[in-house]
Amino acid sequence: MKGLQAGPVRLRPGTSDPQVLFETFVGRYHLPPAGTRPATVWDLGSNLGLTVAHFAELWPEVRIVAVEPQPYLAAAARQLLRVYGSRCAVVEAAVWTVNGSVSFSVDTGNEFGGHIGASGAVYDVHSISLNGLLEQHGPAEYVKMDIEGAEAAVLRNNVEWAAHVGTINVECHGGYSATDCIADLRALDFNTVLNERRPTSVLGTRARRVPRQ
């Protein structure tokens, strides 16, 4: 984390926070293809906000919308990202197909894997659709999607937002395979490759984004 302006980074003992730190600054699975320099990013499933901070450091002019449903993590991300001012906005919600509320589960020791559905500690959280995010915050040139099992629903329903995205990086979870993801992204007119940093992630790019009126 040498040179990182954001801080402080507080990791909770006995949680998956240290793994999030490792995956961000060593694995770097969240990054787009080499040479990509987006002006706008959606970080879907931002956790502690470390990937958001990394984006903000890499691209000093970038504007980032971070979406995180877990209240503690959303608050930690806001604190971490304060140094970047209005460049980084944190939306406390779960990414889903519609705006509203959903049941959300978190298992102790696997906090970075909190997901929609009933298991572990369950509570209700706000949900936001990506069409809703587009309406509220404008389009993204790059989307990092790490939403713990909601990928299939989000990539197959209410997908008008996708036409305004240039590059997307989808982390696949559970029974949703990279093969499934490739098919869904191609149906949305993305060209696809496996992420060389992580084979369970798929990168999608489109030749031309649809400008938002």
3-state secondary structure of 187: helix
Query: pLDDT (tens digit, 9 = 90+) per residue, 102-155?
Result: 988 877 666 666 777 766 667 789 999 999 999 999 999 999 999 988 999 999
Within a domain: 37 = yes
How many C-beta atoms surround the C-beta of residue 10 within 10 A? 10
What average pLDDT does the segment 191-198 reach? 92
pLDDT of 111: 62
Q: Does 91 fall in a domain?
A: yes
Residue 26 CB coordination number (10 Å): 8
As a whole number of angstroms, the distance between CA 183 and CA 131 comes to 21
Other beta carbons less than 10 A from residue 2's beta carbon: 4
- Does residue 95 sit within a domain? yes
∠ at Cα 17 (24, 5), nearest 5°? Answer: 55
Judged against a pLDDT cut of 60, whether residue 3 lies above it is answered with no
- What confidence score (pLDDT) does residue 117 get? 74
Q: Does a structural domain hold residue 161? A: yes
Q: Is residue 192 part of a domain?
A: yes
Q: pTM score, two decimals?
A: 0.88
Residue 78: CATH number of its domain:
3.40.50.150
212 occurs within a structural domain: no
For 50, 70, 85, 147, the CA distances from 127, given in Å and listed in that order, are 22, 11, 24, 12
φ, ψ of residue 94 in degrees (nearest 5): -90, 135
Residue 62 counted as domain residue: yes
Q: How far is CA 85 from the centre of its chain?
A: 19
Q: Which residue, 210, 36, 51, 81, is CA-closest to 144?
A: 51
pLDDT-derived band at 40, boundaries 50, 70, 90: very high
Mean pLDDT value across residues 61-69: 96
**Band of residue 96 on the pLDDT scale cut at 50, 70, 90:** very high
Exposed, middle or buried: residue 45 (CB in 10 Å: 0-12, 13-18, 19+)?
buried
How confident is the model over 148-186, as pLDDT tens digits? Answer: 889 999 999 999 999 999 999 999 998 899 999 999 999
Distance CA 15, CA 139 (A): 33
Taking residues 10-31, report their average pLDDT: 78
What is residue 69's three-state secondary structure? coil
What does the alpha-carbon distance between residue 91 and residue 183 come to, in Å, rounded to a whole number? 29
Q: Which domain holds residue 173?
A: 31-99+130-205
User: What is the rounded distance in angstroms from the CA atom of residue 102 to the CA atom of residue 180?
Assistant: 24
**What integer pLDDT is reported at residue 45 of this predicted model?**
93
What total number of domains does the chain contain? Answer: 1
Q: What is the Cα–Cα distance from 208 to 200, expressed in whole angstroms?
A: 25
pLDDT at 1: 44
Query: What one-character DSSP code corresponds to residue 27?
Result: I
14-21 mean pLDDT: 76
pLDDT at position 119, please? 63
